[in-house]
Chain A
Amino acid sequence: KAGVTQTPRYLIKTRGQQVTLSCSPISGHRSVSWYQQTPGQGLQFLFEYFSETQRNKGNFPGRFSGRQFSNSRSEMNVSTLELGDSALYLCASSPGPPLTDTQYFGPGTRLTVL
């Protein structure tokens, strides 16, 4: 079974631009979570989607948003990019209820904001 895939793997943007990252979960998994990883803050939860609905959200500004499609694929968007948004963005999928807790991660998208 293929793992979680994320595209693109690397991205370079400038301040003020916006970016969209994509995640395809493991086949059959219906829950998708997003995390931001930085050297200073570690891994921080952004949001989680299940059945096209955001069920949980971390403490990030409204510039960070996401959505999930009917095939469980998910995208996250960051608008008005800031230098501090440079990070590794990780997507994780899990089967969905009742097995919602074990998450499997993709390789991440490395975003650099100049």
Chain B
Amino acid sequence: GESVGLHLPTLSVQEGDNSIINCAYSNSASDYFIWYKQESGKGPQFIIDIRSNMDKRQGQRVTVLLNKTVKHLSLQIAATQPGDSAVYFCAGVPNAGGTSYGKLTFGQGTILTVHP
């Protein structure tokens, strides 16, 4: 079955540094991935997504890279700010648009702490 995992449970950076959060997945049939940010007391907030026909996608200060060969994706946050401190989750969708019907499989999350 699908599983999504993270390499590091915590990441600590200085304000202004770039952050890289990694995620591995096991189901090669997954063709859609989403990164979420969850702050304390709130629900996960959509950051960026990527489909399997892409290697890279950029948003505002964020970039997601997908390496299908090694089943790995990463979230890069440029010029990290204290407001970026949160738990970051990657989520995968097997058979996106088909019979997955709303089922996201989440990794355990990485706690990002940004020091001023």
Contact = CB atoms under 8 A, between A and B. Distances in A.
A50 B101 contact: yes
Interface of B: 32, 34, 36, 41-46, 49, 89, 91, 93, 96-97, 99-109
A31 B102 CA distance: 8
Given A56-B100, A102-B49, 17 more contacts: A4-B43, A42-B107, A45-B102, A48-B101, A48-B102, A55-B101, A55-B102, A56-B99, A58-B103, A92-B43, A92-B44, A101-B32, A101-B96, A101-B100, A102-B34, A103-B104, A105-B45
A33 B102 contact: yes
Contacts of A48: 101-103
A107 B42 contact: yes
Range for the number of chain A residues in contact with chain B = 20 to 34
Contacts of A32: 102
Contacts of B44: 43, 90, 92, 105
Contacts, number: 73
A114 to B, nearest CB: 21
A36 to B, nearest CB: 11
Contacts of A4: 43
